Amino acid sequence: MPLLEAEDVHRTYRLGRTEVPVLKGASIRVNPGEWVAILGSSGSGKSTLLHLLGGLDRPDAGAVRFRGESISRFSPRRLDRYRNEHVGFVFQFYHLLPELNVLENTMIPAMVGVGRLEWMRRRGEIRERARALLDRFGLSHRVRHRPAELSGGERQRVAIARALMHRPDVLMADEPTGNLDAKTGEAILETLAEQHRAGLTIVMVTHDQWIAARADRIVHLVDGRVA
Amino acid sequence: MAVHTQLLVRRYLTTRIIPLIAVAAVALCTALVIIVVSVMSGFLENLRNSGRTLMGDVVLSRPVQGIPWYGELVRDLEALPGAQAASPLVDTYGLVRMPYPDGPSKDVVTAQVWAIDPESFSRVTDFDRTIWWKPAASREEALAMGEDDPRRSIGDGPLNDARAMRDLATGRPGALLGMHVSVANQRQRDGSYRPRVAHWWMPRHEVSVTLVPISERGTVSQSNSRTFKVVNEVMSGVFQVDRNRVFIPLKDGQELLRLDEAPVVDTEAEPDADGNYPVVGTSPARATQVLVRAKPGTTADELKEQVEKAYEQFWLRASADPARRTKPPAPESVSIMTWNERLRDLIGPVEKERQMMMILFSITGLVCAGLILAIFWAIVAEKTRDIGILRATGAGRGGVMAIFLRYGLAIGVAGALIGTGLAWVVVRNINDIHHALGERAPTWAWAGTFLLAAFAAAGAVRALVRASALGTLLWSVGALALAGVGAGLMLHQGFLMWDPAVYYFATIPSTMDWAAARVIGAGAVVCSVLGAAVPAARAADIDPVRALRYE
């Protein structure tokens, strides 16, 4: 059974009075432990497909299934829990919270996912996990720094640490190197490769075929459909 | 409440300027309403207290003709279970010839003259406490008096004379003037009084009081005058009383108004050789009012009921007594009112005014809510991407909404607490602030402000050199504002904001109305949360995909 599956999904956005069909029946299967790259040009719908797989959005038609269960039919609360427990997102522009320091940014998924009592009980363990991740990514000396004080590569490594905080089943990376220079981008890809080697399932969106080549499998998206 | 909500609210509050502006806005609105309501409440409280302390709890009144056999009535009233003391008095209006200015022509003022029995009057009212010229009762009180305060150098003489209402040295009848009857008295910043001209200190002088008797038929008789030694002055704190009231001994008042005991003649009988009609009895002395003070634990309304019954019995007994030619007026001719009812005409409009002020100033609460709404709208717009990030990590709509509602709550609570503290400081020092406004600003104040303006101007020049448009603008506005304030302080000649002639009291009430402060503070918190609710709901509705793409 695939870990994640999109079947004939359609998604149309409304821009003012104009309706823009972005996905026109795209289908994709992601098996456990697989690194899949979704390759496409700008406007091909690759980020929209990633958002549907990650439960950030719902398709107009078709289904998105996680371990065979349609997440498109999840209640809003269950969909929130799906994102929190099973998915980790990494974005092109890092998307760290500017008021929080590196350690707090990393712990955010855990903070969102636990109640106050559980936080009180597991605080030490959560903090240790965040510190261990940051240490693994070479950021142990930056835990008290704010995102504005970090380089682009450091920010993206914090974003990856945040995405891995809750031990997700799948990491969704949207152009993870798109805002970085070649050397730093390569280091980030290597970080992702390490996680993949450790068994993590990755769905990565990119428009760069050289970057896509790092994945196990490349899915070409053209004009809202898988080619 | 999720843990991230608390953390983000704390960080949003402490790392940004906008929430500080919101807290300042809430604090200022809260302080403004609390100050206004506290002053109005204090004013109302003073009015109520003054009513009770100046006239007791219940007043029997029959103007002009008065109540005969009042001595017996006073005894009946003092025997009531709810009454502590009763005192007769005669009240009327008259003319007082003042001892100033120097020269043969003197000022004459109109005054409300109360002819009282000082001993019983002191038991019913706080008259003794209002006597002004007396030595300090304690060391602290003495230390608080200014160097040139005449009270520092006087002995017990004026106080003893006031209590006896006569000049004990000569035996002459004495009068007490309200502190503001004489224009010679000048109030000082510390609340004490000095004579404008040293030799116009009233207790050294005499005044002439002229009263006009009115017959039972309502006709005016020949006026009578009598000279009194000013034995002391009284300061009740109620400006209208201190401006108009003059106290003289009851016996003198009765004589001047022809309400004293007098023989009754039979005008239908044959006159004697000298043309005098035969005396057939005595008309008793009369009092136009009897004031009654309630025992502790008895309300004015309860005492009023007892007084009404007591007066009816007194009237029945006196009317049935064939030996008395003069009968007391029927109960329906006598007004029996509590102090509250007597001041109703005064208290009613003030209460209405207070309510109206509360409503008007509560509008500032709505302004506050609008301000919070606008600020939060901007904050939500600025934090759109953060909302997307939180949604991506699994935060639900409720969690996002809770962040902004809690943020509004925190701003409301901080603003309400700071505003209440600010109001407390202002209310406590309101008379000092008022005095400062009434005087020219000290040199250090305007010179210091100009100095700050010069610093700001230097900052503007520095920003201009560094080609910072925002810096140049802000420093320039600051420099101009400070220069304007400095010029205002330099030119300020002082103005009277609180005119005691209008507001009854000589000083501005400076007691915090904590009950109102609690309500207003809670209102500010509610307004802040309501103001935050709309942007919070908007934040919750933001599509996470759009939020993540938000530039």
**In this predicted model, what pLDDT tens digit does every residue of B206-255 receive, in sequence order?**
999 999 998 777 788 889 999 999 999 998 877 778 889 999 999 999 99
Spatial separation of the C-alpha atoms in residues A142 and A140, rounded to whole Å: 5
Instruction: Measure A86 CA to nearest chain B CA, in Å.
Output: 10
pLDDT digits (tens, 9 = 90+) for B270-287: 888 888 888 888 889 999
**List of chain B residues whose C-beta atoms are within 8 Å of the C-beta of residue A84:** 393-395
Instruction: Measure B399 CA to nearest chain A CA, in Å.
Output: 8
- Does the pLDDT at position B551 exceed 60? no
Which residues make Cβ contacts (< 8 Å) with residue A32, sequence separation at least 6?
A2, A3, A169, A201
The greatest distance separating any two alpha carbons of chain B, rounded to the nearest whole angstrom, comes to 123
- Tell me the percentage of chain B whose pLDDT exceeds 90: 41
Classify B360 as helix, strand or coil. helix
Chain B CB within 8 Å of residue A56 CB = yes
**List of chain B residues whose C-beta atoms are within 8 Å of the C-beta of residue A76:** 396-397
Classify A205 as helix, strand or coil. strand
Question: Residue B40, CB half-sphere, CA atoms under 13 Å: how many?
Answer: 22
Give the torsion sign (CA, A184, A185, A186, A187): positive
Which residues make Cβ contacts (< 8 Å) with residue B281, sequence separation at least 6?
B263, B264, B325, B326
- Does the pLDDT at position B550 exceed 80? no
Nearest chain A residue to B400 by CA: give it: A112
Tell me what pLDDT residue A134 has: 93
Spatial separation of the C-alpha atoms in residues B516 and B33, rounded to whole Å: 9
Nearest chain B residue to A87 by CA: give it: B393
Classify B207 as helix, strand or coil. strand
Chain B CB within 8 Å of residue A95 CB = yes
Contact B188, B431 (CB under 8 A): no
Instruction: Measure B190 CA to nearest chain A CA, in Å.
Output: 52
Nearest chain A residue to B7 by CA: give it: A100
Tell me what pLDDT residue B353 has: 81
Q: What is the mean pLDDT of residues B488-498?
A: 77
- Does the pLDDT at position B48 exceed 80? no
User: Does the distance separating the beta carbons of A56 and B391 come in below 8 Å?
Assistant: yes
User: Does the distance separating the beta carbons of A111 and B4 come in below 8 Å?
Assistant: yes
Q: Which of B132, B129, B203 lies closest to B169 in space, CA to CA?
A: B203
What are the φ and ψ backbone dihedral angles of A168, each rounded to 5 degrees?
A: -75, 160
Using only C-alpha atoms, chain A has a radius of gyration, in whole angstroms, of: 17
pLDDT digits (tens, 9 = 90+) for B378-387: 888 888 888 8
User: Does the distance separating the beta carbons of B393 and A108 come in below 8 Å?
Assistant: yes
Neighbours of B484 (CB within 10 A): 12
H/E run at residue A179: none
Q: What is the mean pLDDT of residues B153-167?
A: 90
H/E run at residue B212: none
Arithmetic mean of pLDDT over chain B? 87
Distance in Å from the first CA to the final CA of chain B = 29
Which residues make Cβ contacts (< 8 Å) with residue A183, sequence separation at least 6?
none
- DSSP β-ladder status, A170-174 and A87-90: parallel
User: Does the distance separating the beta carbons of A115 and B544 come in below 8 Å?
Assistant: no
Nearest chain B residue to A52 by CA: give it: B545
A vs B: CB pairs below 8 A: 78
Omega before residue B101 within 30° of 0, cis: yes
Indicate the pLDDT class of residue B501, thresholds 50, 70 and 90: low
Instruction: Measure B394 CA to nearest chain A CA, in Å.
Output: 4
Give the torsion sign (CA, A114, A115, A121, A126): positive
Name the DSSP letter for residue A206: E
Indicate the pLDDT class of residue B325, thresholds 50, 70 and 90: confident
- Does the pLDDT at position B42 exceed 80? yes
Spatial separation of the C-alpha atoms in residues B467 and A42, rounded to whole Å: 40
Q: What is the mean pLDDT of residues B387-414?
A: 89
Strand extents, DSSP E, B55-205 = 58-61, 67-68, 83-97, 108-116, 174-178, 185-187, 193-195
Tokens of B408: 């509004």
Indicate the pLDDT class of residue B371, thresholds 50, 70 and 90: confident
Indicate the pLDDT class of residue A128, thresholds 50, 70 and 90: very high
Chain A CB within 8 Å of residue B518 CB = no
Token pair 């109001």 in the structure block, residue? B423
Q: What is the mean pLDDT of residues A64-83?
A: 92
Tokens of B500: 């005691």
Indicate the pLDDT class of residue B499, thresholds 50, 70 and 90: low
**List of chain B residues whose C-beta atoms are within 8 Å of the C-beta of residue A108:** 4, 389-390, 393
Chain B CB within 8 Å of residue A85 CB = yes
Contact A206, A91 (CB under 8 A): no
Chain A CB within 8 Å of residue B406 CB = no
Indicate the pLDDT class of residue B6, thresholds 50, 70 and 90: confident
Chain B CB within 8 Å of residue A12 CB = no
Contact A170, A89 (CB under 8 A): no
Chain A CB within 8 Å of residue B106 CB = no
Instruction: Measure A115 CA to nearest chain B CA, in Å.
Output: 5
**List of chain A residues whose C-beta atoms are within 8 Å of the C-beta of residue B551:** none
Tell me what pLDDT residue B377 has: 83
Chain B CB within 8 Å of residue A20 CB = no
The greatest distance separating any two alpha carbons of chain A, rounded to the nearest whole angstrom, comes to 52
**List of chain B residues whose C-beta atoms are within 8 Å of the C-beta of residue A162:** 393
Tell me the domains of chain A and their CATH numbers.
32-58+76-226 (3.40.50.300)
Arithmetic mean of pLDDT over chain A? 91
User: Does the distance separating the beta carbons of A111 and B2 come in below 8 Å?
Assistant: yes
Indicate the pLDDT class of residue B496, thresholds 50, 70 and 90: low
Q: Which of A217, A139, A151 lies closest to A179 in space, CA to CA?
A: A151
For residue B418, give the amino acid letter: I
Instruction: Measure A80 CA to nearest chain B CA, in Å.
Output: 5
Distance in Å from the first CA to the final CA of chain A = 23
Q: What is the mean pLDDT of residues B517-537?
A: 88
Spatial separation of the C-alpha atoms in residues B291 and B36, rounded to whole Å: 34
Which residues make Cβ contacts (< 8 Å) with residue A93, sequence separation at least 6?
A179
User: Distance of CA A76 to CAs A54, A71, B375, B429, Å?
Assistant: 13, 10, 29, 56
Name the DSSP letter for residue A148: G
Name the DSSP letter for residue B173: B
Mutate to test the interface with A, among B3, B13, B17, B543 (most CBs of A within 10 A): B3
For residue B24, give the amino acid letter: A
Tell me what pLDDT residue A183 has: 85
**List of chain A residues whose C-beta atoms are within 8 Å of the C-beta of residue B393:** 83-84, 89, 108-109, 112, 162
Q: What is the mean pLDDT of residues A128-143?
A: 91
Which residues make Cβ contacts (< 8 Å) with residue B530, sequence separation at least 6?
B369
Mutate to test the interface with B, among A82, A112, A144 (most CBs of B within 10 A): A112
Indicate the pLDDT class of residue B204, thresholds 50, 70 and 90: confident
Tell me what pLDDT residue B41 has: 84
Chain A CB within 8 Å of residue B109 CB = no
Nearest to A84 among B393, B543, B544 (CB): B393
Spatial separation of the C-alpha atoms in residues A50 and A221, rounded to whole Å: 12
Instruction: Measure A125 CA to nearest chain B CA, in Å.
Output: 15
Q: Is B117 left (phi over 0), alpha (psi -120 to 50) or beta?
A: beta
Question: How would you class A93 by CB atoms within 10 Å of its CB: exposed for 0-12, middle for 13-18, buried for 19 or more?
Answer: middle
Nearest chain B residue to A88 by CA: give it: B393
